[in-house]
Structure 1
Amino acid sequence: MAVYFNEISMHSIKGRPSYHDITDEIKKKIEESSITNGCIVITSAHTTCSLYFDECMHDRNFWGDEYLQVDINEAMEKIAPTMKTENQYHSPGPEHIKFGLSLGTKEYPSEKWTMLNTDAHIRSSIFGSPSLTFIVKDKKIQMGSLGKVYFVDWDQLRERDRTIQVMIMGEQVVL
């Protein structure tokens, strides 16, 4: 059995949840690997992000979001409203703010306002899916013709560089 590791890099936006169709990048990683039959695992370690599998809805709004993504945002806004002020939710508390401020770097300094993303944590927890697994057969991901793999960053406070880990395991073709 062979194992192939790689990454997909994303840059999220601020001001609204950031959706990314990563289907083509995943297909490229399968092609780059020497694995013909097996499985692919896609995962994100970011606590305010989700991976999900759904049908492409084609129609898009002004911002480029598919209508289903707009519907998801509207449903999530009812469940976990966007955090607009401190104390809107119980978290973050003073200990977490102290810890978060200690993590800052010169390039990315931590400020208290950057921790006002409790809504993103709740949405990620509800939406789930820090990882997805698919079957790979004859170097093709088995997902149907309309299926797409999406990455969403629920944290609306600032732009971020995000990383998605890819691992493909299975039979290796030796030519």
Structure 2
Amino acid sequence: MTVYNDELILRSNGNRVSYFEITDKVRKIVEKSGIKNGICVVASPHTTCSVFLEEYSHDRNYAGDEYLQVDLNNVLEKIIPRCVTERQYYHPGPKHIAFGDTLGSEYVPDGDRRSLLNTEAHLKGTLIGSSQTFIVQDSKLQIGGVGYIYFVDWDQNRVRDRHCKVQVLGE
């Protein structure tokens, strides 16, 4: 069995949920792997990001988001509203904030603790999931005719580079 690893670097926009349609990039990784039959795992190592399979929505709003993404955001906002103030959710609590203070500017830029108010991003990441596994058959992803792979960063608090891991296993 062969294992092939690759990674995509995706820059979030920092002021709203960031969606990335990565289907063609994943297809190229599968092609580069040389694996004809096996599986392809697309995963986020970030606790506020998700990977999912969805139909491509041709219509977009003024911000450039596909209508299905807008609909998903609207549904999730009803059940998991954006965290905008301290104590809106239990998280982050005082111990977590103290821990965040020890991590430096990568996690708390310029000491701005508001970046820790991203509880909804964690909950959405948990709900939607951090990875998807796809069958590779005859060197092609088996995602149907209208299936597209999306990576989403739910955290709206700052611009960041996000890593999307892709692993192809098989023969």
Shorter-chain TM range is over 0.9
**Structure 2 alignment gaps of length 5 or more:** none
1:145-169 deviations in Å (ceiling 9; x for gaps): 1100001110000111000111111
**Residue matched to 1:45:** 45
Q: Give CA-to-partner distance per residue, 1:109-150, whole Å, 9 cap, x none.
A: 5531110101111111222x2111111111110011110000
Give the whole-Å Cα distance in 2 for the aligned partners of 1:32 and 1:93.
Answer: 45
Say whether the 8 Å CA contact 1:16–1:156 is kept in structure 2: yes
Indicate the residue corresponding to 2:86 in structure 1: 86
**2-side partners of 1:156 and 1:43: how far apart?**
20
- 1:82-130 Cα offsets, whole Å, 9 max, x none, are 1111111111111000001111147955531110101111111222x21
Match of 2:120 in 1: 119
Deviations 1:41-79 (A, max 9, x none): 111110011100011111111111110100000011111
TM-score (norm 2): 0.95
- Superposition misfits of 4+ residues, deviation over 6 angstroms: none
Secondary structure of 2:62's partner?
A: coil
User: Match of 1:9?
Assistant: 9
Residue of structure 2 in register with 1:55 after alignment: 55
Normalised to the residue count of structure 1, the TM-score between the two structures is: 0.93
Query: How many residues of Structure 1 are paired with residues of Structure 2 in the alignment?
Result: 170
Equivalent AA in structure 1 for residue 118 of structure 2: N
Q: Corresponding residue for 2:72? A: 72
What residue is the counterpart of 1:146 in the other structure?
Answer: 146
Letter of the structure 2 residue corresponding to residue 35 of structure 1: I
Q: Which runs of 5+ in 1 are unaligned?
A: none
> Quick check: 1:12–1:160 contact (8 Å CA) kept in 2?
yes
Q: Take 1:75 and 1:106, find their aligned partners in 2: how far apart are those partners?
A: 30
How far 1:8 moved relative to its partner? 0.9
Aligned identity (percent) is: 49
SS at match of 1:36: coil
8 A contact 1:102–1:110 mirrored in 2: no
